[in-house]
Amino acid sequence: MTDGPGYFDHVYLDIDSVMVLVDTSENTRNNDTTNWERVGDDDEHHHPEGSFVWENLHVQPGIYDILSLSNGVDTLLASANIKVGAIRLIRINLGSRNSLVKNSVSYPLNLFPGSKGYVIIQLKGDEWEEYQPGASRLWLDFDVARSIIEINNQFYLKPVFHFFTEDKTGSISGTVLPFNAYSVLSIYRGEDTAYAIPKKNGEFKVRGLKDGSYSVFINASNGYKDTTINNITINGANNVNIGVIQLHQ
């Protein structure tokens, strides 16, 4: 699991468990018309079809500081042996101890009204990266910028996750100086946007980018001027380092 940074000091996510739905049939494409939302919402984890099997990944329950997982840093959320087949759903069950810290002040992070206490991620079954025979992996990116909603100085959680593999997606990295510009980076291509906040030494890295031409918009504060860098090409699993960007007042 990794993170798309938001405008907070810390975001603490209470993860209770992670489950996957495995389709063990010979051809998972035959099940593409399945109502996956209904299957994922089944709290009893019934098997609507004989070929569907829920597997618990036995994640270590706990509170994760999501903002510590930015700029190319990730953590192993779960690892388990499961039945052979196509993974069609990931279900992340959340606890109630979610919170955030903004400007050194701690706030409860309640689920957005009407939201469920879990997140369902739908897959086609072929997204995983086989990094050694019989072993596959997938990165989950928690999109902080889209997952937290502020209403009247109260914060609500409506989790948004993206997934990627490093063998099929690229990355953009670089350094933005000085740190006291408190820059927030938007990396965008059409309607696709990712975010980054540089570390104290100015370094940043955004992963999981699909092929295409991207722009990096640096939204600076503290009297420094905004800057945009265009025509950054991602082609395959490459990393593009845009070098050192020195901001000016």
Mean pLDDT (the chain) is: 86
**What CA–CA distance (Å, rounded) separates 239 from 232?**
10
| Count of residues making up the chain | 249
181-221: pLDDT as tens digits: 988 888 999 878 888 888 889 999 888 899 999 999 999 98
* CATH of the domain spanning 170-246: 2.60.40.10
pLDDT in tens, 20-65: 999 999 999 999 999 998 888 876 665 555 789 999 988 889 999 8
Distance, in Å, from the CA atom of 165 to the CA atom of 167, rounded to the nearest integer, reads 6
pLDDT of residue 93: 93
Q: Dump pLDDT digits (tens) for 136-185.
A: 888 888 887 778 888 888 899 998 888 888 888 999 999 999 989 988 88
Span 69-77, average pLDDT: 68
The radius of gyration of the chain's CA atoms, rounded to the nearest angstrom, is 19
CA-nearest of 74, 60, 55 to 15 is 60
For the chain, the domains span 2-164, 170-246
Contact 141, 4 (CB under 8 A): yes
146: which residues sit within 8 A by CB, 6+ positions away? Answer: 4, 160
CA separation, residue 114 to residues 43, 110, 118, 157, 158 (Å): 16, 11, 12, 11, 10
**What band does 14 get if pLDDT is binned at 50, 70 and 90?**
very high
pTM confidence score: 0.76
